[in-house]
Homo-oligomer: A and B are copies of this chain.
Amino acid sequence: MGKLYVIGIGPGGLDQMSIKAKEVLEKVQVVVGYIKYIDMVKPLIRDKEIYSNGMKGEEARCIEALKLSEDKDVAVISTGDSGIYGMAGLILELKENNHDVEVIPGITASSAAGSVLGAPLMHDNCNISLSDLMTDYELIKKRIKLAAEGDFIISLYNPKSKGRPDYLKGAIEIIKEFRDDSTPIGIVKNALRDGQEAYLTTIGEFTDEKVDMMSIVIIGNSQSYIKDGFFITPRGYKLEQKK
């Protein structure tokens, strides 16, 4: 009987993975994942059995991983944190009594993007995916409105794809009703991995042409500001020293 590890590899750069995630990846016999994620960890898994398939093959991939783990030690990999829009949920939904599963977390994409921009996530914050593949668009819009009304910092995952070119603009329009035009927005593409690009703008100046599926978009709360090229949300310290 083997064991199944559901691993969040973090943003993608090998040095952003946890030490535990790396140790487990090096130890298992089989690695299962979406082909692009397999490529990201290639240097660590050259001698391993690989099971990979394309996007939208998640259920088949998880069933195969569970089956393989009956005889071997297997790692299923997700980017970011395996527990936030990753594979941990589906694995546990499909798991049967005879399977031994451990979830190994990673640095989620909003944390990675935040670190590139400065410190945008320093106060109460939320993660919302704009993908409507499995979530009704009305519910997505409702969540954006309530998060904006609650003055949360908002990180948008899967912000834009060909099938829904206008959702991101729509989201920003909703948030605009609750924020000043000067509120910072950060866009980070491929945060902390090859091809990283970062842009800092404001709600008033926002356009979406730099954004794609590999981006995270972070919208500040009412206290957020930009200083020396950094996106900062104050935690709320009453500073003795003048800013």
Assess A126 versus B124: contact at CB under 8 Å? Given A15-B19, A152-B143: yes
Q: Which of B10, B59, B86, B112 contacts A237 (CB 8 A)?
A: B59
Closest to A80 in B: B111
Q: Mark A54-79, 1 if CB is under 8 A from B, else 0.
A: 00001100010000000000000000
Q: Does A235 contact B (CB under 8 A)?
A: yes
Smallest CB-CB separation from A232: which chain B residue? B92
How many A residues touch the partner, as a band?
35 or more
Contact between chains at A92 and B230 (CB < 8 Å): yes
Residues 16-34 of chain A: 1 if any B CB is under 8 Å from the residue's CB, otherwise 0? 1111101100000000000
Q: Is A85 an interface residue (CB 8 A)?
A: yes
> Would you call A114 an interface residue if the criterion is a C-beta within 8 Å of the partner chain's C-beta atoms?
yes
Which of these, B86, B105, B115, B234, contacts A83 with CB under 8 Å? B115
Give the shortest distance, in Å, between A93 (CB) and chain B (any CB).
6
Min CB gap A138→B, angstroms: 12
A95 at interface by CB-CB < 8 Å? yes
Q: A93-B232, A97-B228 are in contact. List 11 more A-B contacts (CB 8 A).
A: A13-B20, A15-B18, A59-B239, A84-B122, A88-B119, A89-B233, A93-B239, A95-B230, A103-B114, A125-B127, A142-B150
Which A residues are closer than 8 A to B by beta carbons? Answer: 8, 10, 13-20, 22-23, 58-59, 63, 81-86, 88-95, 97, 103-108, 111-112, 114-116, 118-129, 133-135, 139, 142-143, 146-147, 149-152, 192, 227-228, 230, 232-237, 239-241, 243
